Structure 1
Amino acid sequence: MRFVSFPLRNVVRRPARSLLTGLGAAAAIGAFVVLVGLTRGFERSWLDQVEAYGVDLLASQGGSLDVLSSTVPEHLGEELRRVPGVTAVGADMGHLVILEPGKAAVLAGLDAHNPVWKRLKLAAGVLPGPAQPDGVALGSGVAEALGKKLGDTIRIVGKDFPVVGILQPAARVQGNSIFMLLPTAQKLLGREGRVTAFSVRRDPRLSPEERAEVLARLTRAFPNLTFHQGEDPAASNEMLWAFRAIVASTSLVAILVAIVVILNTLLMSVVERTREIGVLRALGWGPARVLAAIVLEGLALASVGSLLGALGGFAALGALTSAPVVRSFVAPVLDARAVGEVVAVAVVVGVLGSLYPAWRALRMDPVEALRYE
């Protein structure tokens, strides 16, 4: 009997069982694909937003899971401005709002000092200012989704606001944001005297060591604030770390399920073919060859499951991110690295799922195996 035909013949000999095994592995691999794609997309959206706003330091409430859930006194802005080495401080008010069923946006209230205003590029109209204190500027995504143009009104949290500006297409989160003056946002949300965060800019002429000293000075002076560095926001953002931890644990469970499914199938296969394995051992098949045959069968099952799971995962990811609320903030990232990870997971699942059944096969005494009925 040829070496390759032994494991592959068993895969097709029990088509129903092989199909169910493949589907079980596919479900686990599909979940892995969806989670990886969403995680990478979430991080990419965050990094694009930070780059678009030119954030140096973002100061938010210590212990808050993310910036939107932070709340700090507005008067701290003046104290931050007095710290040596700080050249600009802007107050931010961020809030997630539902505009229509299935359509959400980030409401961004910025004070007059906020450096973010200078980073916003208009496609039409003007930015909110003293002449339009109640006006709003819409990100391109919001304007397109709602069909809004200059001069229209938009209802936010039960109140109508005139659209005075439309922004050029930019980062995904910025494109799905609504910008207004900070006092207007505070009044609308009933949060006068409070902000969610401060955009802090250090003197660009400072050396890296001096910039680090300014950060240390800020951390000592404001122990109740957390300072996120724009150069590496993903490393200092609690929400991203929490999301990564959830995804990692869920992916691990999915992979373990796939391993158990393949292990169970191969174990039954070894028991059913006890006599056949005994014949092969008697004909001169050594332990290494038997081990390789069982592992190859596991890899074949894992490969089928991975192919089905990858296709299903990509389809599910596309369907999930077609939902308006998700599409507004996350674009899934599916690259060569993700494909490589799927292949690696398939190999791990196939090998680990076949080790115990292979060990059982190696323990068989050829003479006893030939007597097995």
Structure 2
Amino acid sequence: MKRFVIAIFTIALTFSAFSPYVQAEEKGVQLTESAKSAILIERDTGQVLYEKNGHEKLPPASMTKIMTMLLIMEAIEEGKLTWDEKIRTSEYAASMGGSQIFLEAGEEMTTDEMLRGIAIASGNDASVAMAERIAGSEDAFVEKMNTKVKELGLENTKFQNPTGLPAKEHYSTASDMAVIAKELLKYEGITKYTGQYEDYLRQDTEKKFWLVNTNKLVKFYPGVDGLKTGFTAEAKYCLTATAQKDNMRVIAVVFGAPTPKERNAQVTNMLDYAFSHYKTHPMFERNVPVAKVHVSKGSVKELDAVTSEPISVLTKKGENIDDVVKEINVDEKVKAPVKKGDKVGSIILKKGSQVLSESDLIAGSDSLEASWWQLFKRSLGHFTKLD
């Protein structure tokens, strides 16, 4: 579709002397000595602050569940799943080994309870139960996982299950895992789950089950509120962590640390580095209307084009921004039907010719195809105005 620029504004923030980010590795900073691979990014911009072997394919273990949680959150936002819906556990789901919340075949838990079991206790049984509910089977859910991988433009990730249990050709990279985590963190409610250190399931029964977060940094590092650990004999100790301080959220990923202590120490090094050297300047929150989009033959003639994610500019500490230009592009011709969440344009932040940030604009609501009667009334109104 053709696009046109509907607005260009200078964002006057009374700051000065902006300079682009510099990757930590370029200055010889070594933050993750014993990990096989690692990456550190700022969430809003996706800018890389540190990287070590970030594109090396490795087994992600239970960090796989970041994608599983992403598809759960998407299903909820799309209205295909509700928080209080009871999810039945199949015999297959109940048979999962490894980390589990010990679901029994036929047992039911709500989506909310299942997600707590996944996010806090890394429940393989809960992950498979949710996969079967969303897609009908584990295999069909894995297809959805890999479809989402392609949608995100990731070339070095392939999933074989929703749990991270060892499987041939089940791999990802630190870079790809950071992107998946960035996408999950669009759903602000997810950290309500991943950021809990402990909780209980089956609270008022004889089978009360204590959940303790496998990510100990949630308790011991101020600002950490997720996301997911991982361990298998092959993968060693892995962690994708996120923390927020002073409007800045970062994501740190470690693959293949030799011990949980070293894994946590190296993630702590990255978080400390980010918060001591960089600063985020927020521009827009998620779901903020920034333009109108005309819908041809739609039941609603105009829709809000809203931000698909938080949008910010990143600088080093002590540096500021000035003369940042906001460029809003919307599709010139959008035809019904349009679903809430469909891409309808883009928003770009620039300084001179340098693109600082580019993000999708999405439809803020639905517009179905207009009925013949709606179209007739519109045409009648058009002729009446001409008279």
Higher helix share: 1
TM-score by length of 2: 0.23
TM-score by length of 1: 0.23
Q: Which has the larger radius of gyration?
A: 1
Higher strand share: 2
